[in-house]
Amino acid sequence: MIRAILVNQENQTQTEGGVELIDIWRKTPGSLIWIDLCNEEIEYETSLLKEKFSVARHAIDDAQRERHPPKIRKLSNQTFLLLKGLSAGTVDTHFSTIQISFFIGERFLITRRKETSVTIDKIWAKTMKRNLLGTKSTGGMAIYIARSLMERFLPILLDLESQFDEIEDAMLSQPDDLLLQQLVEYKSNLKKLRRIMGYHHQVVKELNMSSWPGISENDQQEIPFLYEKLERLYSLSSFYYEQAADLQDGYISLASHRLNQIVRVLTIITVIFVPLSFLAGLYGMNFVNIPELQFKYAYFFLLAVMAIVVIALIFFFKRKRWL
């Protein structure tokens, strides 16, 4: 899918359409255009970017790679920016991401992706209503989209506090293996999210440190807000990753403690029955000459000895606070 928004800055008119707007844009010096490419055929997309916008081949290759970490690259008269946004179906930490590439020129902005982006679709609709492209410029529009992409991560992270509180309560009241499985999943997803935020943080740090083609001085003033947002996202993802790790360690410690309690009880039971088994085995041997067998009250005497042994051991364990 290819769609375009063309803005004539002289008369502040805005037109939505497809590739046919590119030729109009090239013939109109005071115009801006936003091209949005979604799951377009690779060959056609490559030809369009190279011939119509003179995008470098290595930047196109980076944008079209299936998996690539976020990055920023300064081209001759353009800026190439690659970010990761949340997929359309993501609502919690069981997330998946999509790569969104930006080609930013003085008069054009190109966004490229393989899947639907909820953020870009919302901003596209908002742009048609409020003429955002005409008021923000291409560089400002790219930064605005980047901020909106990052904002989708924030509610997912903030929801974790209540979820972790519930897990902690369940650990103390009704512990089971499902809780450990959830914690392992949280830890794995947060580790991935922290890595993504780390890449974004570095990219925006580079963006904030120098000037870039297609991004004006006015646009540069918006970058610190994006940088602060990413700092918060990175710190939150790191914090909740550590909290998930602590909860996992706590669960394992509690499970180990419960296991020790069970083993201690079983050990006490074993220790109690060892002397009883010895006495029963001793007098259960089939020797003819066992003097005690001729004693009239030997059976009752042996039961009494066994009872005394049991009571003595129980008293000893209670004194040691093992029971």
pLDDT band at residue 215 under the 50/70/90 scheme = confident
Give, in order, the Cα–Cα distances in Å from 152 to each of 52, 170, 176, 228: 32, 29, 32, 15
Where are the strands (E) in the chain, listed by range? 2-8, 13-17, 31-38, 71-74, 79-86, 97-104, 108-113
pLDDT digits (tens, 9 = 90+) for 170-183: 887 777 778 888 88
DSSP track, 144-159: HHHHHHHHTHHHHHHT
Instruction: State how far the Cα of 303 lies from the Cα of 291, in Å rounded to an integer.
Output: 17
Q: Is there a contact between 2 and 36 (Cβ–Cβ < 8 Å)?
A: yes
CA 137 to chain CA centroid, nearest Å: 33
Q: Given this model, what pLDDT does residue 36 score?
A: 93
Give, in order, the Cα–Cα distances in Å from 254 to each of 174, 257, 267: 12, 5, 20
Residue whose tokens read 């093992």: 322
Beta bridge partners of residue 212, listed in sequence order: 215
Q: Which two tokens stand for residue 282?
A: 């001793």
Helix axes 223-282, 177-209, angle to 10 degrees: 160
CA 232 to chain CA centroid, nearest Å: 15
Instruction: State how far the Cα of 91 lies from the Cα of 38, in Å rounded to an integer.
Output: 22
Q: Given this model, what pLDDT does residue 84 score?
A: 92
pLDDT digits (tens, 9 = 90+) for 128-172: 888 777 677 888 889 999 999 999 999 989 888 888 888 888 887
Q: Given this model, what pLDDT does residue 196 score?
A: 92
- Of 158, 156, 171, the closest CA to residue 247 belongs to 171
Higher-pLDDT residue of 146 and 94 is: 146
Instruction: State how far the Cα of 211 lies from the Cα of 197, in Å rounded to an integer.
Output: 22
pLDDT band at residue 9 under the 50/70/90 scheme = confident
- Of 52, 107, 109, the closest CA to residue 80 belongs to 109
Phi and psi at residue 28, to the nearest 5° = -115, 100
pTM, 2 dp: 0.79
Residue-range domains of the chain with CATH: 2-255 (3.30.460.20), 261-319 (1.20.58.340)
Residue 252 has pLDDT above 90, yes or no: no
Phi and psi at residue 31, to the nearest 5° = -120, 155
Beta bridge partners of residue 15, listed in sequence order: 6
Which of 25-29, 44-48, 296-300 shows the lowest per-residue confidence on average (mean pLDDT)?
A: 296-300
Higher-pLDDT residue of 177 and 104 is: 104
